[in-house]
Structure 1
């Protein structure tokens, strides 16, 4: 009996213990929620640690995320070991899986090797120390599996080290994700795509120092949030990471920290570039402390993101549309028309003459009236010096904010219910202009004014919304006016 008991003990000890954080990350009911905490600037000697802890606990309690990601500058004062133990304890007490990316200040207190050795002792730490043959520490990929098929990877979270400081001050004050790290990302991305039948898996990237490209999204119509730091503290050079995101086709958005008084999110070339919300009470900056929440949608290249603080939830950003809940709440909705059109299509009037602006079309000589399936200038009998006045009823599927665009050479103007939404007027080469409007579900009058001056005729009219990916307006949304 004693031998049997000893054998049972040996067998039990030989079975690997599955710790909570080692379990697979997976979508639940089609959603996967991440909370990003950044720039905690933990000082274990500071009384403000209690406030930082309370902020994290409040966000975790309300949001109930699937994982917490800490994007750098976590423990930035001695004693480092005690500081990291205290931070780790916050997430262990909350039974929250978490991963950590290094900031530029973390290694000033403890070597990165020591930090990750401590982190990996926690049953709730889900990251890795990272490959030894590339620069940086903690570079890893966290796969997120499907709600039903636990073997199917439905999303990827790339955790990257943006390192500390460059070797030459001419490169800027701060470092970046280096080329060998980028090559590693590209190689891993290629493998995941190949294993997914050649289709890139929707992914997000997390690191500390923002990219130079963040400057491109600030001030754009699809950007939400503030830049109270007055600048983007990125490296001064283009590092190639953003171009790699575009080329590999998997990363939907990059999420960083570093600039405590910046929290904006915007889109450049189809990729969201976002800051988290500063978390630490001992960090500089005036923003209310909190975290950024990102909620992925299973099976789609889509996510919603918002800032959560202990005092509440801020506006939600919808990717890929770039529309926001602020638009939905603050814009005046145009009521639908009381009409019941029977036939699909677009009515038009055709003109010829020399035009410099669309307001000159009405006074020109009209040569033809007719109908067509969609907006098109392909049937114009001349190559230059002509114009169209298009009129249709567009069927809006649900109440919401809609973004329209025209891509034209030369001028164009889009009006909804008599209101100018897109102004792409004047003589110019091919370019796109966009505008947003809040619409009630039902039919709305849509009018396009277009003229071609000299060389290079072009017209494309598109739509997007929270639930409609940007595309040319489909034929089945357009109806002939009564």
Structure 2
């Protein structure tokens, strides 16, 4: 279920953004360039249980600590009878703390009270600005919350999509759980397109919230690049690729997706530039071993950027930074490589070009040296042959801010990237175009970058890029590269 509070009208799916904004007498807005969301998930509120008091204390502690602009409850809120009493108790937390809130449906909520009755009750709260959502699409509570600018007060600077991931479906060939259906996806696409047009053709930075994870969450579990707890032993998604994720990619607005459902998961991971994340289980009566709490998400105005962390009554846990994929734990624990002294002020990349057959980067030593020179950046376009050649690139990369950085190579065939003599990206071997990345902690200043590349046969590609906490991913620019002494 989804709830929305604050003094903001939810924009109905059939109305244009311009019309909707004109109807909103009060609304969410960035404050000092920030907007903070608290996600609570899987309260599993059991009205007659004494543990409800502990769940309420957890929510209140997080709200008191973080002072969010909005709380979003991502499903499985009240999961036993008497359900109405449970909803009264939960809503009173937000009424008493004067916290705007939204609820998205979980798979258990409608087992104890109908969706319509739940929303009829929620709409009575002065801190709820949700809606039942369009009657002609699947589910209940589908809606979008615009967040306006602090400077450009009439401009929507962020969007929060709340969706009903539904509950169960009868054909077990597709798995136990339902999914987000095509008419919901079509509704999202219409909303997204409308906001993009109203924003001069630029997608508006957005987040999406619902209960049951997408099947794509399974893909990031095995890539070795997730951060957080992965203790569930899997992802309890439907066995159907609904097309929701590909629509997020297509519309180019959703930066991150936040779900619940799997209580022993709170991990985050990037898939094709979109963060797929879990909240932290909140309810004491819910199964699971994780310390109860909530996920905090801090959006930045007019940027495709946010930070997120878990807060419990004991305090904050480590922060994760989008879009870099870095986190505060590695900032504090990784060994920082010191900058090197240099007298060079000349821009460029020194290279040596070879010809000969290679199957591994190490084979470059057996190739024939053809020429050496200087380029403005890494390039293989000047190779004299289409196959069986190699390059040895050396440069100094200038790092403007101390931090953890992620470097990548996209190459066909093999490549290896070293910084200050340390192998950071190992994309070696004969293969089609492939991306590999690695992280390194760097002090401010110049650092030696050594890149080895070879082309065996059939296709030639080389791209080198990086990202940092405050640096959106980009290819390494000429302005960062300087010739070694």
Tell me the equivalent position of 1:307.
310
- Alpha-carbon distance between aligned partners in 2 of 1:43 and 1:338, rounded to the nearest angstrom: 64
Contact 2:283 2:292 in 1 (8 A): yes
For the 8 Å contact 1:209–1:258, the answer to whether it is kept is yes
Q: How does 1:314-463 map to 2 (within 5 A)?
A: 314-463=317-466
User: What is the Cα deviation at residue 380 of structure 1?
Assistant: 1.3
- Report what 1:15 is aligned to: none
Aligned residue runs from structure 1 range 32-47, under 5 A: 32-47=35-50
Displacement of 1:372 after TM fit? 0.8
Distance in 1 separating the partners of 2:177 and 2:453:
48
Match of 1:205 among 204, 208, 228: 208
1:317-370 deviations in Å (ceiling 9; x for gaps): 111111111221121100001223210000111111111111222343322121
User: Which residue number corresponds to residue 250 of structure 1?
Assistant: 253
Quote the residue 1:10 is aligned against. Answer: none
Residue among 142, 147, 151 paired with 1:148: 151
**Larger deviation, residues 49-58 vs 374-383:** 374-383
Shift of residue 221 of structure 1?
4.1
Q: Deviations over 1:12-69 (max 9, x none)?
A: xxxxxx9856631110111100000000000111100110011001111111110000
CA displacement, residues 97-141 of structure 1 (integer Å, 9 cap, x when unaligned): 001111011011111111111111110112111111111111111
In 2, distance between residues paired with 1:221 and 1:127? 38
Runs (4+) off by over 6 Å:
none
Contact residue 6 and residue 128 of structure 2 kept, 8 A: no
Deviations 1:202-237 (A, max 9, x none): 111111111101001113343111221101000011
Equivalent residue for 1:7?
A: none
Cα pair distance change 1:461/1:437, threshold 3 Å: same
Q: Between Structure 1 and Structure 2, whose CA radius of gyration is higher?
A: 1
Give ranges in structure 2 of 5+ residues lacking alignment: 10-25
Tell me, what secondary structure is at the counterpart of 2:86? helix
CA contact (8 A) 2:6 2:70 kept: no
**Structure 2 residue 129 is matched with structure 1 residue 126:** yes
1:274-329 deviation per Cα after TM superposition (whole angstroms, max 9, x unaligned): 11100000000000000011111111111111111111211111111111112211
Aligned to 1:219: 222
Q: Deviations over 1:67-95 (max 9, x none)?
A: 00000000111111111010000011111
- Report whether the alignment pairs 1:181 with 2:184: yes
Alpha-carbon distance between aligned partners in 2 of 1:25 and 1:438, rounded to the nearest angstrom = 37
> Which moved further from structure 2: 217-226 or 311-320?
217-226
Give the deviation of 1:164 after TM superposition.
1.2
Q: Sort the Cα spacing of 1:21 and 1:366 in 2 relative to 1 into closer, same or farther, 3 A.
A: closer
Q: Aligned with 1:253: secondary structure?
A: strand
* Partner residue of 2:115 out of 112, 115, 135: 112
2:7–2:28 CA contact under 8 A, matched in 1:
no
TM-score by length of 1: 0.94
Aligned residue number for residue 297 of structure 2: 294
Q: 2:474 aligns with which of 467, 471, 479?
A: 471
- Residue 169 in 1 paired to residue 176 in 2? no
The CA distance in 1 between the partners of 2:481 and 2:353, in whole Å, is 19
Distance in 2, matches of 1:205 and 1:418, equals 42
Q: Secondary structure at the match of 1:406?
A: strand
- Residue 271, structure 1, aligned to residue 274, structure 2: yes
Question: Which residue does the alignment assign to 2:14?
Answer: none
Q: Deviations over 1:434-462 (max 9, x none)?
A: 11100000000000011111221221111
Question: Does the Cα contact within 8 Å between 1:222 and 1:323 map onto a contact in 2?
Answer: no
How many residue pairs get aligned? The number is: 465
SS of corresponding position for 2:303: coil
1:285 aligns with 2:288: yes
Q: Partners of 2:154 and 2:165 in 1: how far apart?
A: 31
* Distance across 2 between alignment mates of 1:44 and 1:150: 42
**Are 1:21 and 1:97, in contact at CA under 8 Å, matched by a contact in 2?**
no
